[in-house]
């Protein structure tokens, strides 16, 4: 279960990012986070902290609730 929620979150972040037409490097720079770290997050390999998640949301210009709806529980 633990790994599953991170995969879902990563997938949604990636979706948002590509919808914005950004590269991982773009997002990393806007969020003030290392580019390799963003990659790990999108692949569901990183267990990020709440503040970092907020930084990513801020960079993506989206509400956190948009990324977390149905979590945990209804993992599609």
Q: End-to-end alpha-carbon separation of the chain, Å?
A: 12
Unique residue bearing structure tokens 């949604």: 12
Q: How far apart are CA 27 and CA 34, in angstroms?
A: 9
Binding mask 5-44 for a copy of itself (x = CB under 8 A): xx--x-----------------------------------
Residue of the chain from 15, 19, 23, 69 that contacts DNA (CB under 7 A)? 23
Q: What angle do CA 76, 74, 7 make, to 5 degrees?
A: 55
Among 4, 15, 19, 36, interactor with DNA by CB under 7 A = 36
Residues engaged in binding a copy of itself (CB under 8 A):
1-2, 5-6, 9, 47-51, 53-54, 57-58, 63-66, 68-73
């Amino acid at each position: 279960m633990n790994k599953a929620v991170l995969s879902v979150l990563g997938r949604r972040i990636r979706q948002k990012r590509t919808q914005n037409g950004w590269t991982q490097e773009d997002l990393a720079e806007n969020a003030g986070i290392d580019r390799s770290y963003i990659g790990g997050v999108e692949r569901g390999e990183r267990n990020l902290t709440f503040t970092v998640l907020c930084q990513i949301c801020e960079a993506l210009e989206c509400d956190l609730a948009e990324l977390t709806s149905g979590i945990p529980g209804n993992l599609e």
